Each structure stands twice: as C-alpha cells, then as structure tokens.
Amino acid sequence: MNIIRITLALLLFSGSLMAQREKPSEEMREKIESMRIAYITEKINLTPEEAQVFWPVYNQYREEFEKIIHRVEPNGKPPHHLSDEELNKMSDKEVREMLTNEMEKQKLLVEHREKYFKKFTEILPIKKVALLYDAEREFQRKLMRQISDRGHEKGK
C-alpha cells in the first residue's frame, strides 16, 4: 500500500519537475530525497534502530556519490551528452582527455561503492544491503520513467 502512495507521489512530483526544463531547484531536490528515503525505508524494511545508524552513513554515501557524478568535465559535458557534431569538432587530444576523465570517474564510482558496501554490511544484514541496491535502482528507474512520461505527454 505504501508503495502505491510513493508511486503516486512520484507521478505528481514528476509533473512539476518536467515543468522546469533546467536543473531542479533545491526544493525539488529535497522532494526527491524525501521520496527516496521513504522508498528505501519501506523496500528494505528498516527497523528504527537500523534507520538511526543507517541514514547518516547513507547520506554521506549519497553526498560523495553526487560529487563524483557531477565532476566538471574539461569540455563541460560528459561523453554521453555529446552529439556526433560536437565530437567531430574536438581534437583527438580533447577526445582522449574526455574519455580518460570518464574512466577516472568510473573508477572513483567503483571505489566509492566498495567503500560503502563495507560500511553498509557493518550496520545492516547482507540481505538488506542487497535490497538497498535494488531499491536505489528501482527508485531511479521509476523517477526517470515518470519524468519521461510527463515529457511525452507535454509534447503532444
């Protein structure tokens, strides 16, 4: 039943997010994080005792994750955001630097996940850690689907 409420909240929220084509406001980010917390709490069935220890560690995990993901690229865009035309205008040296930076980012993400996997398994049963990773992916997928669906509806 709570999953239905969370999904409904995602639907309502995604419409307001799509109304702003630029980066989400601080208020929108806070709404997303609130929904993420509710979704994860329910999906992994955190006890109050677990939640008290888990959330500070998870918040630190997310903060570090966001810093890695939003590292500034030398040309301002990650490789997957470049059009063919933009890529063709770049020198081989620039492309090599861009791809090297992307590989470094991926390496940092793996190290980050390994670091927090160890921390999470120290505070939660291993099955809840597995559920956590699934819940994160599900939440992100649902959020992106909702945003995409709203964008398609708006374009009609």
Map out the domains of the chain as residue ranges: 2-154
What pTM does this model have? 0.72
Cβ-contact 58, 131 below 8 angstroms: no
> Could you report the average pLDDT of every consecutive run of 10 residues in the chain (156 residues)?
45 43 74 92 94 96 91 64 83 88 92 98 97 95 85 62
How far is the C-alpha of 65 from the C-alpha of 125, rounded, in Å?
22
Residue 108 burial by Cβ neighbours in a 10 Å radius (0-12, 13-18, 19+): middle
CA quadruple 54, 57, 63, 67: dihedral positive or negative? negative
pLDDT of residue 107: 95
Angle between helix 2-18 and 126-154 (nearest 10): 40
